[in-house]
Copies of this chain bind each other. A is one copy, B any other.
Amino acid sequence: MKAVGELEHLVLLALLRLGDSAYGVSIRQEIEHRTGRDVPTGALYTVLGRLEEKGLVCGRAAEVGPDRGGRRRKYYTLEPSGERALAHSHTILRKMAAGLEKKIEALALAAEQP
């Protein structure tokens, strides 16, 4: 099985987290608020489109628009193949980092210092 890219990985995690309420804006916020990683909106929609093409996620337009103004949301959910891809990539990284957690945490702390 193929491993997904870095941003794809984050988006799949966001979908797992958000469940029913995952659409462009909420996905973006979830990633940015939780990790601080900037996700340009264009980047997000292109990866969502590619994940959909690959059959890893499924997107459907909402019945009604947002509370005030605005285009219809498009909600995304994980497909079984998306769950597998996520689990696969996650597992590879976990295995490779196993036992290094302390070291990596020390590096992260060191990087914060002036």
Query: In chain B, what residue has the closest Cβ to A6?
Result: B3
Q: Is the interface of A mostly helix, strand, loop or mixed?
A: helix
Query: For the complex, is A58 an interface residue (Cβ under 8 Å from B)?
Result: no
Query: For the complex, is A87 an interface residue (Cβ under 8 Å from B)?
Result: yes
Query: For the complex, is A41 an interface residue (Cβ under 8 Å from B)?
Result: no
Query: For the complex, is A22 an interface residue (Cβ under 8 Å from B)?
Result: no
Contact flags A76-91 to B (C-beta < 8 A → 1, else 0) = 0000000110111111
Question: What residues of chain B lie closer than 8 Å to A98, measured between beta carbons?
Answer: 34
Given contacts A35-B95, A88-B111, 19 further A-B contacts (CB under 8 A): A5-B5, A6-B9, A9-B93, A10-B92, A13-B96, A13-B100, A16-B103, A16-B104, A34-B98, A37-B92, A86-B107, A87-B104, A87-B105, A87-B110, A87-B111, A88-B108, A90-B104, A90-B108, A93-B93
Q: What are 24 A-B contacts with C-beta separation under 8 Å? A: A3-B6, A4-B6, A5-B5, A5-B6, A6-B6, A13-B97, A13-B100, A17-B100, A31-B96, A35-B91, A35-B92, A35-B95, A35-B96, A37-B92, A83-B107, A84-B107, A84-B111, A86-B107, A87-B107, A87-B111, A90-B97, A90-B108, A91-B108, A93-B93
